[in-house]
Amino acid sequence: MQKQPNQMLWQGVYLAVVIIFCSVVYASSKHINYNWNWQRVVPYLINTEPQSVRAPFDGTAKVSTDDKTLTLVPDAGGEPVVVKKFSAISVNDGDLIFEGDQVATISNWRIGPITEGMITTLEISLASLVFAVIIGLFIGLGRISRNLAIRQLCITYIEIIRGTPLLVQIFIFYFFIGTVLSLDRFTAGVASLAVFTAAYVAEIVRSGIQSIPPGQMEAARSLGMTYVQAMVNVILPQAFKRTLPPMAGQFINLIKDSSLVSVISITDLTKAGREVVSATFAPFEVWFTVALLYLVMTGALSWMIQHLEKKLAASD
Amino acid sequence: MHLQNAEDIIIAKDVDKIYPNGCHALKKVSASIKKGEVVVIIGPSGSGKSTFLRTLNQLETISSGSIVIDQVDMYGKNTNINKLREHVGMVFQSFNLFPHKSALHNVMMAPLKVSKRAKSEVEEHARALMKKVGLAERMNNYPSQLSGGQQQRVAIARALCMKPKIMLFDEPTSALDPEMVGEVLDVMKSLAKEGMTMVVVTHEMGFAREVADRVLFMEDGELLVEDTPDKFFHNPTHPRLQRFLSQVL
């Protein structure tokens, strides 16, 4: 009988290696006298500090009898400003106020710049993913077209895009195409990422379609379907399932590649991280946090695609 | 010279097929098949019999000659090949069921997407056909959950759901385990009895003898013999056919 490997032992070895690695990281930071201060990062994720409400003009404060509304009446005339839902009030009824005075504080949660950057990263990734899939699908289909002109155009597209660095493409999109078509930063960033990813998606689509046995197309055509009907109803649904694992990899790359758009001054997660580092002087904590947030996004995507794969495996 | 008979539903004339690599697959093959006739094509492998069958619904194009299906010239200027294929069902050696759809949906797909028939009518028709091929219980199974024989019967039902005038069978039992050949041949026999026009490429000599109205013998791209099964099997005159039969029987 074959000897069964000791699962417990190797699980233990795995944990030991991970723990040793983490302690090495910690020890080396101690070695350079780095003071870990995770607290400093938190306000840049979620800001729970009470915000002060300041008077927008010179005038008089009026506090309602139940202490729930504060009305600021301007001296110069005009609409009074009403403040509600404050946590603390710093003026009394009838007080004179001057522009810029703190009249009350509001305690509400605000998202910090890192979280804002993460949202921007998500927006850019999602928008470019949708366009990349659409462009990639058509380029992939054109890549196997029987029409020589279409086929060669698609091959040229794929070769040019795959043969040049994304960073250079982003610059070209922003400074050349963006100027010609007067695109804003966000559009230029999304466009360059979509065009870049589409070239890879196209190759995945092509290999997916070519992995379907030719008998499937023949069967569909023999039933009277047109080429397009056969593609839509028979070939692409099957190819879709097979391309999910490589697509997942490509989409994860897309999320990570989106960090490059920070070079055209889009405040994505990476750029937000850089800004926060210069404000906090806590580079280790910030960059670890940024890395963790990328990992959360890619991990969630990877999990969703795995889930989809399992669902589609019903017919296997 | 073939006489153009109104009863002839398939008329192939001087069909030549040369592949781009120079392989001469069909050499001046001419054959007419009447409505309701069951024609079996036999021959050694590489004889061009499957190629000829596949030209009858243009899965293979021809280099020269002409093919007329149900009064429609297949290579005519205004011929819509998709329209023509709707009436020519085909059953493949490797079944080619759509693996991402259940058996019933395999059968229903083309009538819904191509013929745009009403869903309720198509479903009723598909269920009746599944029952006819003996698979009423397995309608909701995916192809991967069916045996080879069952898959091939679904494939026959799928072709029949388009209400074809002609059925082409390309070695329908060659990929099957021996004990499953019978169930597929039984379905084909009942189809023949109902008067379906059938062209069958097969190695099942028993089926040819029992069901065929005519048997064609092809070798090396040429149609050598065309005869009734009785004469074909019991009184072969062509020396090449004699040799072939002595090897397979």
Q: What is the pLDDT of residues A239-298, one digit of tens each?
A: 998 999 999 999 999 999 999 999 998 999 999 999 999 988 888 889 999 999 999 999
Q: Classify each residue of B189-218 as buried b or exposed e, where b means 16 or more C-beta atoms within 10 Å of its C-beta.
A: eebbeeebbbbbbbebbebbbebbebbbbb
Q: In a 3-state reduction of DSSP, which class is residue A252?
A: helix
* Rounded CA separation A298/B45 (Å): 54
User: Best interface-test mutation with A: which of B50, B85, B100 has the largest number of A CBs within 10 A?
Assistant: B100
DSSP code for B135 = -
The residue among A55 and B168 whose pLDDT is bigger is B168
pLDDT at A42 over 90: no
Are B130 and B109 within 8 A, CB to CB? no
Tokens (6 digits) for B48: 């061009």
Give me the pLDDT at residue B73, please: 92
So what's the pLDDT on residue B26? Answer: 94
User: What's the confidence (pLDDT) of residue A12?
Assistant: 94
Residues A213, B96: C-beta atoms closer than 8 Å? yes
* Residue among A273, A222, A253, A307 at smallest CA distance from A115: A273
Concatenated DSSP letters of B173-228 = TTTS-HHHHHHHHHHHHHHHHTT-EEEEE-S-HHHHHHH-SEEEEEETTEEEEEE-
C-alpha–C-alpha distance, residues B172 and B188, integer Å: 10
Nearest CA in chain A to B103: A315
Q: Taking CA atoms, what residue in B is nearest to A234? A: B98
Mean pLDDT of the B7-34 span: 92
* Contact at CB, B90 and A241, closer than 8 angstroms: no
Whether the predicted pLDDT of B198 surpasses 50? yes
Structure tokens at B69: 């299906």
E strand or H helix that includes residue B53? helix B49-55
Q: Across residues B182-198, what is the average pLDDT?
A: 93
Cα(B81)–Cα(B88) distance, rounded to whole angstroms?
A: 11
Cβ under 8 Å to A: B residues 103-132: 109-110, 113-115
Determine the pLDDT at residue A302: 92
Which of A218, A222, A316 would you mutate first to test chain B, the one with the most B CBs within 10 A? A222
CB spacing of A224 vs B82 below 8 angstroms: yes
Q: Given the structure tokens 């500090």, which residue do they identify?
A: A49
User: How many other C-beta atoms can be found within 10 angstroms of the C-beta atom of residue B148?
Assistant: 17
By percentage, how much of chain A surpasses pLDDT 70?
A: 99
- Chain B CB contacts of A241 below 8 Å: 100
Instruction: Give the residue with greater pLDDT, A56 vs B24.
Output: B24
Cα–Cα distances (Å) from A57 to A71, A99, B219, in that order, read: 12, 4, 102
Of A225, A315, A316, the CB nearest to B110: A225
Q: Which helix (H) or strand (E) holds A264?
A: none
CA atoms of B156 and B168, how far apart (whole Å): 10
Using an 8 Å CB-CB cutoff, list chain B residues near A223.
85-86, 89, 109-110, 114, 158-159, 162
pLDDT over threshold 60, residue B1:
no
Give the model confidence (pLDDT) of B220-242 as tens digits. 999 999 999 999 999 898 999 99
pLDDT in tens, B131-150: 999 999 999 999 999 999 99
pLDDT exceeds cutoff 90 at A39: no
Contact check, Cβ <8 Å, A315/B82? no
Per-residue 3-state assignment (H helix, E strand, C coil) for B58-88: CCCCCCEEEEEECCEECCCCCCCHHHHHHCE
Evaluate if residue A230 carries a pLDDT over 90. Answer: yes
Residue range A52-79, pLDDT digits in tens: 788 888 888 888 777 778 888 888 777 8
- Comparing alpha-carbon positions, the chain B residue that sits nearest to A220 is B110
The pLDDT of residue B2? 45
Distance between CA A18 and CA A27 in Å, rounded?
A: 14
**Interchain CB contacts (distance < 8 Å): A and B:** 72
Measure A154 CA to nearest chain B CA, in Å: 25
Residues written for chain A: 316
Q: Do A223 and B100 touch (CB under 8 A)?
A: no
CA distance to partner chain B, nearest, from residue A11 (Å): 37
CB contact under 8 A, B96 and A218: yes
- Which residues from chain B sit within 8 angstroms of residue A220, using beta carbons? 98, 110
Residue B10 carries which side chain, given as an amino acid letter?
A: I
Q: What are phi and psi of B225, to 5 degrees?
A: -135, 145
Which tens digit of pLDDT belongs to each residue from A152-199? 999 999 999 999 999 999 999 999 998 899 888 999 999 999 999 999
**Least confident among A84-88, A232-236, B85-89, B175-179:** A84-88
Cα–Cα distance between A195 and A139 in angstroms, integer? 11
Least confident among A277-291, B116-130, B150-164: A277-291
Task: Tell me which of A288 and A48 has the higher pLDDT.
Answer: A288
pLDDT, average across residues B14-24:
92
State the pTM of this model.
Answer: 0.78
**Residue A300: exposed, middle, or buried by beta-carbon count in 10 A (0-12, 13-18, 19+)?**
exposed
- Using a CB-CB distance cutoff of 8 angstroms, which residues of chain A are in contact with residue B101? 315
Between A36 and A139, residue with greater pLDDT:
A139
- Contact flag A222-B57 (C-beta cutoff 8 Å): yes
Is the distance from CB of A286 to CB of A277 less than 8 angstroms? yes
Task: Say whether pLDDT at A2 is over 60.
Answer: yes
pLDDT digits (tens, 9 = 90+) for A101-113: 888 887 777 888 8
d(CA A158, CA A139): 8
Task: Identify all chain B residues contacting A216, using CB atoms and an 8 Å cutoff.
Answer: 96, 98
- Mean pLDDT score of chain A: 89
